[in-house]
Amino acid sequence: MRDGKLILLHGFSHEEINKILKAVKAVAEDPKDIAFAMSTPTNLEWKIKDLIHDVRGDHEYLKKNPPNRG
């Protein structure tokens, strides 16, 4: 299992998700260390340890290789 924080969101509207992300980032000591994920039909079937491993892996990759936004 990969180390680090992860918040899994399920059943929220897009607007609610944006508010939750903003609130968590406002109070977190190191918000860039938190990985966020939304449930999907596929990952709802996974074991939680597999979901954590996958999401944290993606998070670490994106921290090291941020997408070009331009």
Query: How, if at all, do strands 34-38 and 5-9 pair?
Result: parallel
Helices (H), the chain: 14-27, 48-64
Count CB-CB contacts under 10 A for residue 55.
20
Whole-model pTM: value is 0.81
Q: Name the one residue in this structure whose structure tokens are 């924080």.
A: 5
Give the CA count within 13 Å in the CB-facing half-sphere of 48.
Answer: 3
User: Residue 69 has what pLDDT?
Assistant: 73
pLDDT in tens, 9-66: 999 999 999 999 999 999 999 999 999 999 999 999 999 999 999 999 999 999 999 8
